[in-house]
Chains A and B, each alone.
Chain A
Amino acid sequence: MSAQDTIKTTIDTNDVVLFMKGTPVFPQCGFSSVVARVLDHLQVDFESVNVLEDDGIRQEIKEFSNWPTIPQLYIKGEFVGGCDIVKEMFETGELQAYLKDKGLIAAA
């Protein structure tokens, strides 16, 4: 399977996917760590892809999303953004509303 196909399959078969450097438990980058911590805090089940383990995916995800940096968050197949956007959306409550709307966290 090509890296593009792997990316497509991963975001098609998981509601929430975080492409990051390292893992949620051992993040290798502060920006990736912030997004993983936000998702953990909101108790969202998510699939993480460590781009440091696969150089093909690390390069292709940038093309795939038209986004030059890691981390990248996908929710229900849709590109949400990187660390700055996720952080802003969390601070304004938009992320929580979005996840509730998609049925991915319980309504308060």
Chain B
Amino acid sequence: MTGMQDRIAAKLRAALAPEQVNVIDDSHLHAGHAGARPGGESHFTVEIVSSRFTGLNRVARHRLVNEALAEELAGPVHALVIRAKAPDE
């Protein structure tokens, strides 16, 4: 786990009380292209299962995740792949 991975996971836990959250650092796949930072920690995938998503469409789910991570997305995090599911899906 890198610092940013931990931080993203902690923010999602605090905001969405997920039953499951997995943060994957994809930065190495993007090394050298625009938006990639020398130290990495710029591209992430978030897999999250939360009952907060029940009854919400995809856009609304992604907005909840994006809002929880607004600070990171405005700064060092260049790209975020989101897989958001409700517990029964």
Contacts and interface: CB of A to CB of B under 8 A. Distances in A.
A85 B80 contact: no
B81 to A, nearest CB: 6
A82 interface: yes
B66 interface: yes
Contacts of B83: 84
Interface string A73-100: 0000001111111001100000000000
B79 A84 contact: no
A15 to B, nearest CB: 19
A33 to B, nearest CB: 12
A31 B43 CA distance: 12
Interface residues of B, number: 15
Contact of A69 (B34, B58, B59, B80): B80
B74 A81 contact: no
B58 A31 contact: no
17 contacts: A28-B34, A31-B79, A67-B62, A68-B66, A68-B70, A68-B73, A69-B79, A79-B59, A81-B58, A81-B59, A81-B62, A83-B81, A85-B58, A85-B59, A85-B62, A88-B58, A89-B58
Interface of A: 28-29, 31, 66-69, 79-85, 88-89
